[in-house]
Copies of this chain bind each other. A is one copy, B any other.
Amino acid sequence: MKLTILGCYAATPRTITNPTSQVLEIKNRMFLIDCGEGTQVQLRKNKIKFSKINHIFISHLHGDHFFGLVGLISTFMLLNRESDLHVYGPKGVKEIILLQLRAGNSFTGYNLYFHELESKESEVLFEDEKVIVKTIPLKHRIYTNGFLFQEKNKERKLNIDKIQHLGIDVVYYQKIKYGGDITLDNGTIIPNHEITFDPEHEKSYAFCSDTVYDENLISLIENVDVLYHEATFLEKESHLAEKTMHTTAKQAATIALRANVKKLVLGHYSTRYESIELFKTEAETIFTNVLLAEDGKEFEF
């Protein structure tokens, strides 16, 4: 699982900081999460192939999370993209994008599917044999969702030494991976657990931005491997966090602790602070495994 931060600052793009966007690579699928202005340039800087992006998730319709979307969709068109593109985002995103494409008399040569969201309950947005993606309803000034990405490792791992020792033919391997028992030629039944190991750990990643401190989150993100949680402010600006419906570093760490996540990645920093290290220091008073998002940074999990 690889996370590339394209932008992790709040509010407006600046010369050296970018608004929210990130790419999650999980089980060889690539998901773009949020798309602030300048995302397409950040993708280029990070050498991420445009053609590998087929699914874009938009948390909410504040500019710093989606003003780069129409430009990216247009650039895909100019580059003669042919494969389908799926956009998951709040109701309204489709009209905004199509209005602009129509005004430019510009229509995509590829299929552009909008999956508009309105539910306040968690729902499944995407699922295939390897990955499932669900919404995490967040509380912000406007309708907002985080996203939970989970690996699906249903296949059991073969204990090749034992299988070969028993002389089991390769044609049965698929059956064994899916939990089947094997009957040998002599009639002996070999239970599956004797010739397999448990499936690999199913990694998970939760993206939670933007949101006020919200304990309802905890049950939805419990035990995830990596939690990206916004930390727009430090605790001394907690009044601003409350007013603007954002979170402090300490609050983010509290959510991480209570949800028993393995790692916490902080981001969505206000640019008012001298150093983002301050966020880490504050969060570490509550939770030990804190990482800082930075524009252009890659994390391997």
Interface residue ranges, A against B (CB under 8 Å): 11-15, 37-38, 40-41, 44-45, 60-63, 67-68, 70-71, 74-75, 78-79, 90, 92-93, 95-96, 99-100, 103-106, 141-142
Whether B141 and A105, one on each chain, are in contact in the complex, defined by CB atoms closer than 8 angstroms, is yes
Whether B63 and A71, one on each chain, are in contact in the complex, defined by CB atoms closer than 8 angstroms, is yes
Complex alpha-carbon distance, A13 and B68, angstroms: 11
Whether A41 and B62, one on each chain, are in contact in the complex, defined by CB atoms closer than 8 angstroms, is no
Complex alpha-carbon distance, A11 and B75, angstroms: 8
Complex alpha-carbon distance, A14 and B42, angstroms: 9
| Residues of B close to A99: CB separation below 8 A | 95-96, 99
Whether A12 and B74, one on each chain, are in contact in the complex, defined by CB atoms closer than 8 angstroms, is yes
Given A13-B71, A14-B41, 15 more pairs with CB closer than 8 A: A12-B78, A13-B40, A15-B45, A37-B38, A37-B71, A38-B38, A61-B103, A63-B70, A63-B74, A67-B67, A67-B71, A67-B74, A67-B100, A93-B103, A96-B99
Complex alpha-carbon distance, A70 and B100, angstroms: 12
Whether B71 and A105, one on each chain, are in contact in the complex, defined by CB atoms closer than 8 angstroms, is no
| Residues of B close to A13: CB separation below 8 A | 38, 40-41, 71
Whether A12 and B40, one on each chain, are in contact in the complex, defined by CB atoms closer than 8 angstroms, is yes
- Central interface residue in A40, A45, A71, A141, by most chain B CB within 10 Å: A71
Shortest Cβ distance from residue A65 to the other chain B in the assembled complex, whole angstroms: 9
Known: A12-B78, A99-B95. A104 touches B40 (CB 8 A): no
Shortest Cβ distance from residue A119 to the other chain B in the assembled complex, whole angstroms: 18
